[in-house]
Amino acid sequence: DTPNIDYIKEIKRLKKEKNAILLAHYYQIDAIQEIADFVGDSLALAQKAAKTDADMIVFAGVHFMAETAKILNPTKQVLLPDLLAGCSLADSCPPEKFAAFKKKHPNHKVVTYINCSAEIKALSNVVCTSSNARKIIDSFPKDQPLIFAPDRNLGDYLNKETGRNMLLWDGACIVHEAFSMEKLIDLYKEHPDAELIAHPESEAHMLKVAKYIGSTSGLLNHVKNSKKEKFIVATEAGILYQMMEENPNKIIIPAPAKEDNTCACSECAYMKMNTLKKLYLCLKHELPNIEVDKELAKKAIIPIERMLELSK
Ligand code: 13P
Ligand code: SF4
């Protein structure tokens, strides 16, 4: 064990010494968001990874995010503090099954949410995130049949938003399917003046009652710019850190989860695998290192770059 180490001080020192950039998602624990060089949503993190001049990228997020950063930076070292930090949504789309599904629909173009493996990206025409999905989908002619994978909730929401009939892969995020409508109704009774805002990975019944739907950065911007003073927030609990920091005078209430857990809101166990200690060890030993097969990366980078180009 390493009980006497000042992790924050050591992480800062190692970052400087190794010319490393620390990128963190809004779902990371508060302490990691605080020392990160950049905190953002999936799109902003991919954009940042694409243009960094650091020698090393340390990704405080989950595997698909670090993998995307590696695909964009094949010559740089990309580190993820815990290789087990996966994603239920990415796991819900196995490449062999998806390849067979795609084969059955040869006239369809494939739009995939960035929360998927490099193998799935390699089978896609374009990647998207929740902040640019609408724009990406609108870039196809109206009569172009599309497959959307892997998130059925986001796909269903986008079908309604765009008036399309995209074929949806049946995947989902456990965190965003954990909200309890029953508990939410009770909470609303206590706070009738609160506005429900939700991430589009949430289920249709949640999105139906939400007053605003958006990506993590969309939700943050909405709260900051709204005249409302009270919000119930349906996304992963990590976002509360930034939201409360930006809005000290507003009341921010996490949407309740079905299962009673310690914070009575929804937490992503994968995002929460990263700790200051793991971050320190990862910077010190330059491990675990993310590697992507060169041939696979060559195919996967095409739809990622198409997304970055369309998002300018
Ligand atoms: P965004 O930050 O792009 O909204 O993504 C949310 C998410 O679930 C990441 O895993
Ligand atoms: Fe994956 Fe959901 Fe966790 Fe995001 S919140 S990393 S989509 S499991």
In terms of domains, do 51 and 196 share one? Answer: no
**Which of 28, 38, 42, when mutated, tests ligand 1's pocket best, judged by the most ligand atoms within 8 Å of its CB?**
42
Task: State ipTM.
Answer: 0.98
> Is 113 annotated as a binding-site member?
yes
- Residues 199-208 have a mean pLDDT of 98
> Has residue 261 been placed in a domain?
no
* 278 and 304 belong to one structural domain: no
Residues 63 and 22 in one domain: yes
Q: Are residues 163 and 186 in the same domain?
A: no
* Number of folded domains that form the chain: 3
Ligand nearest to the CA of 151: 2
Kindly state whether residues 96 and 237 are assigned to the same domain: no
Predicted confidence (pLDDT) per residue in 2-44, tens digit: 568 999 999 999 999 999 999 999 999 999 999 999 999 999 9
What is the pTM assigned to this prediction? 0.97
d(CA 126, CA 268): 26
* Under 8 Å between Cβ of 40 and 27: no
**Structural domain contains residue 2:** no
Q: How far is CA 102 from the centre of its chain?
A: 24
Structure tokens at 115: 């929360």
Helix (H) or strand (E) holding 38: strand 38-40
Note the ligand closest to the C-alpha atom of 91: 2
Residue 139 near residue 172, CB atoms below 8 Å: no
Residues 157 and 301 reside in one and the same domain: yes
Specify the ligand 1 atom closest to the Cα of 115: 10
Residue 45 lies in a domain: yes
> Does residue 71 sit within a domain?
yes
Cα of 41 vs centre of ligand 1, distance in Å, is: 6
What are the C-alpha distances in Å from 257 to residues 8, 130, 181, 182? 32, 22, 9, 10
Averaged pLDDT for residues 243-260: 93
pLDDT in tens, 142-183: 999 999 999 999 999 999 999 999 999 999 999 999 999 999
In this structure, are 186 and 249 located in the same domain? yes
Residues paired with residue 67 on neighbouring β-strands, in sequence order: none
Residue 250 sits in a domain whose CATH number is 3.40.50.10800
Domain that holds residue 21: 7-85+271-292
Percent of the chain whose pLDDT exceeds 90: 96
Q: Is 158 helix (H, G, I), strand (E, B) or coil?
A: helix
Q: Looking at the structure, tell me whether residues 278 and 244 fall in a common domain.
A: no
Distance CA 101, CA 186 (A): 41
What is d(CA 124, CA 303) in angstroms, rounded to the nearest whole number?
Answer: 6
